[in-house]
């Protein structure tokens, strides 16, 4: 709340400013200048309470649209401007309320320090980039992702009610869009080829849509777990059923697999096996990559240009998938092979963030070429781990795995040791969402989109907040036990 003395100062200052603007309007005969005092009022308001912008940002996440300013510059509206405004307003809030220490404890979070280390490498890899300007744009965009989806939530989530509210706003907004999509899709007969038109203009394709929806299901399940009244439990059961039906009718294989992966992550979490499983997955992936590269075994997966086509029938689409004749997977191999060759050229620092599309065609192998290899939409490599290695080198990949692995470690620790049921559930949901994103990003790079990227960083924000709370909780418990022993 703004102190009364400050309100009087603002009122007096605003009155003087309004008189000056009135004189300026009379002198210039430009009545549009009357907008300025009200813009100043809005600015002061959001600097004292930037969280209104955050709630708007969360509500608009599912509804954002891609907008190309130029051929080389695109943005997401209204989410990206809201991210920037939220980050700026939060910075003003932190400066104004610095005596209250709104970020107290954050510097003691190891996960936060690892994330800062990763962000530092984004800047370092931009310095070594083959296109400094493109890479600098990437770094700047990432800063307001972290500002809007990590720093702002940390300030908010110190009050658990705000954590619940964030989950509610995001879930309600997404479910409204899901119902809207299903109604449109129903009018098209729920066809495989009609799902993308039903999503327009809010999602580029069914892959993005289904991946976001899969991440909403853990929130619905958590809501059902904490629901206190039978009507609310019934409502959440209905919403869960709608969400599962929507995922099934999205015809996105990656989302189906990610749902299974999310369930496995939760089971591993409960059995305290999440970290061993994480390291086993890394070892398995390393062995698989070595096997493919040894003696160029990957060449066995080169498709037939004439037979590798897009199937409009979903059964044929699935059959083509396990026969390695599916167009999308064949194109993935085309880009993965090029990506691996790019890594060999700049293995330490990478080519620089945002530079893959500009450079990869020089490294492609014609044997893997498909009907869509011209890539007019300028999509990337479709594997976030390879994508990170290409653009940020093995250092960037190591830091990504470090942040992700430590996030799983914190989730495991809090779920097992914390006495607070809300934060145990929050840690479990964050771990499941991260597990889903790690899975779907094996064949995509959706962390670079506003919708999936925001969920990734929100999950980290939850775990950073939980880590700090858990440290305080353990410290208080140790102090209490020490007092009892002294007595």
**pLDDT at residue 318, as a whole number:** 58
**pLDDT at residue 75, as a whole number:** 84
**pLDDT at residue 94, as a whole number:** 92
Collapse the DSSP code of 68 into the 3-class scheme (helix H, G, I; strand E, B; otherwise coil) and give the result.
Answer: strand
Query: Confidence class of residue 446 from pLDDT cuts 50, 70 and 90?
Result: confident
Query: Confidence class of residue 323 from pLDDT cuts 50, 70 and 90?
Result: low
pLDDT at 322 over 60: no
Q: Which residues pair with 74 in a beta bridge?
A: 68
State the pairing for strand pair 74-77/65-68.
antiparallel
Q: Of the candidates 351, 348, 353, which has an alpha carbon nearest to the alpha carbon of residue 338?
A: 351
Cβ contacts of 170 within 8 Å, gap of 6 or more: 58, 59, 61, 62, 216, 219
**pLDDT at residue 310, as a whole number:** 55
More confident residue, 318 or 326: 326
Q: In whole angstroms, give the CA distance from residue 229 to residue 101.
A: 38
pLDDT at 325 over 80: no
- Which of 101-105, 208-212, 431-435 is the least confident region? 101-105
**pLDDT at residue 379, as a whole number:** 87
In the chain, domain spans: 4-48, 56-283+379-476
**pLDDT at residue 312, as a whole number:** 57
Cβ contacts of 173 within 8 Å, gap of 6 or more: 58, 59, 60, 61, 62, 63
pLDDT at 470 over 60: yes
Span 244-257, average pLDDT? 94
Q: Could you read off the pLDDT of 406-437 as tens digits, one per residue? A: 999 999 999 999 989 999 999 999 999 999 99
**pLDDT at residue 293, as a whole number:** 82
Backbone phi, then psi, for 66, in 5-degree steps? -85, 135
pLDDT at 265 over 70: yes
Q: In whole angstroms, give the CA distance from residue 395 to residue 239.
A: 42
Q: Could you read off the pLDDT of 108-153 as tens digits, one per residue? A: 999 999 999 999 999 999 999 999 999 999 999 999 999 999 999 9
**pLDDT at residue 74, as a whole number:** 74
**pLDDT at residue 372, as a whole number:** 79
**pLDDT at residue 307, as a whole number:** 56
**pLDDT at residue 313, as a whole number:** 55
Span 194-214, average pLDDT? 94
Q: Of the candidates 444, 319, 403, 361, which has an alpha carbon nearest to the alpha carbon of residue 112?
A: 403
Q: Please, where are the H alpha helices in 324-449?
A: 327-345, 356-359, 384-417, 421-440
**pLDDT at residue 138, as a whole number:** 94
E strands, 84-164, are none
Span 202-224, average pLDDT? 96
Collapse the DSSP code of 201 into the 3-class scheme (helix H, G, I; strand E, B; otherwise coil) and give the result.
Answer: coil
**pLDDT at residue 311, as a whole number:** 52
The average confidence (pLDDT) of the chain is 88
414: tokens are: 């809090």
**pLDDT at residue 5, as a whole number:** 62
**pLDDT at residue 199, as a whole number:** 96
Q: What are the distances in angstroms from CA 333 to CA 276, 306, 338?
A: 29, 16, 8
Cβ contacts of 249 within 8 Å, gap of 6 or more: 182, 185, 190, 195
Q: Which residue has the tokens 């992936």?
A: 285
Q: Could you read off the pLDDT of 165-175 as tens digits, one per residue? A: 999 999 999 99
More confident residue, 378 or 297: 378
**pLDDT at residue 55, as a whole number:** 94
More confident residue, 358 or 473: 358
DSSP string, 265-291: HHHHHHTT-HHHHHHHHHHHHHHHHHH
Query: Confidence class of residue 477 from pLDDT cuts 50, 70 and 90?
Result: low
Q: In whole angstroms, give the CA distance from residue 57 to residue 86.
A: 8
Q: In whole angstroms, give the CA distance from residue 221 to residue 233.
A: 10
CA triplet 57, 61, 64: central angle to 5 degrees?
110
Q: Could you read off the pLDDT of 71-98 as tens digits, one per residue? A: 666 789 999 999 999 999 999 899 888 8
* SS3 track for 434-448: HHHHHHHCCCCCHHH
Q: In whole angstroms, give the CA distance from residue 239 to residue 179.
A: 10
Q: Could you read off the pLDDT of 341-376 as tens digits, one per residue? A: 999 999 999 999 999 999 999 999 888 888 778 888
């Amino acid at each position: 709340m703004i102190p009364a003395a400050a309100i009087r100062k603002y009122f007096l200052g605003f009155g003087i400013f309004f008189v000056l603007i009135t004189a300026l309007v009379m002198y210039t005969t430009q009545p549009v200048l009357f907008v300025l005092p009200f813009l100043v009022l809005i600015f002061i308001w959001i600097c004292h309470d930037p969280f209104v912008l955050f709630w708007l940002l969360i509500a608009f996440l599912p509804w954002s649209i891609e907008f190309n300013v130029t051929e080389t510059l695109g943005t997401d509206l209204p989410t990206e401007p809201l991210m920037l405004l939220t980050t700026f307003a939060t910075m003003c809030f932190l400066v104004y309320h610095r005596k209250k220490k709104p970020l107290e404890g954050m510097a003691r979070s190891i996960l936060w320090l690892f994330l800062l280390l990763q962000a530092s490498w984004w800047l370092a890899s931009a310095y070594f980039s083959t296109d400094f300007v493109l890479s600098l744009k990437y770094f700047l965009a990432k800063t307001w992702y972290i500002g809007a989806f990590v720093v702002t939530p940390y300030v908010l989530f110190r009050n658990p009610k705000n954590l619940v509210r964030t989950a509610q706003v995001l879930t309600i907004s997404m479910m409204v869009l899901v119902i809207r999509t299903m109604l449109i899709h129903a009018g098209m007969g729920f066809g495989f080829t009609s799902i993308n038109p039903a999503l327009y203009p809010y999602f580029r394709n069914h892959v993005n849509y289904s991946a976001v929806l899969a991440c909403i299901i853990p929130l619905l399940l958590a809501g059902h777990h904490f629901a206190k009244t039978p009507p609310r439990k019934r409502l959440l059961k209905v919403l869960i059923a709608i969400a599962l039906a929507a995922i099934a009718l999205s015809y996105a294989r990656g989302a189906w697999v990610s749902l299974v992966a999310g369930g496995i992550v939760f089971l591993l979490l409960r059995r305290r096996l999440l970290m061993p499983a994480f390291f086993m997955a890394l070892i398995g992936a390393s062995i698989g990559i070595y096997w493919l590269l040894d003696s160029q075994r990957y060449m066995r997966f080169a498709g037939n240009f004439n037979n590798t086509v897009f199937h409009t029938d979903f059964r044929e689409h699935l059959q083509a998938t396990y026969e390695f004749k599916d167009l999308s997977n064949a194109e993935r191999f085309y880009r993965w092979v090029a990506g691996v060759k790019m890594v060999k050229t700049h293995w330490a620092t990478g080519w620089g963030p945002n530079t893959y599309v500009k450079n990869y065609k020089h490294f492609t192998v014609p044997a893997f070429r498909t009907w869509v290899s011209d890539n007019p939409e300028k999509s990337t490599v479709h594997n976030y781990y390879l994508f990170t290695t290409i653009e940020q080198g093995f250092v960037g990949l190591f830091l990504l795995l470090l942040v992700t692995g430590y996030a799983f470690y914190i989730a495991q620790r809090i779920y097992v040791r914390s006495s607070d049921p809300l934060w145990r559930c929050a840690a479990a949901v964050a771990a499941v969402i991260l597990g889903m994103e790690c899975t779907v990003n094996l064949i995509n790079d959706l962390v670079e989109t506003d919708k999936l990227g925001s969920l990734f960083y929100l999950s980290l924000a939850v775990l950073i907040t939980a880590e700090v709370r858990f440290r305080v909780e353990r410290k208080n418990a140790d102090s209490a036990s020490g007092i009892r022993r002294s007595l």
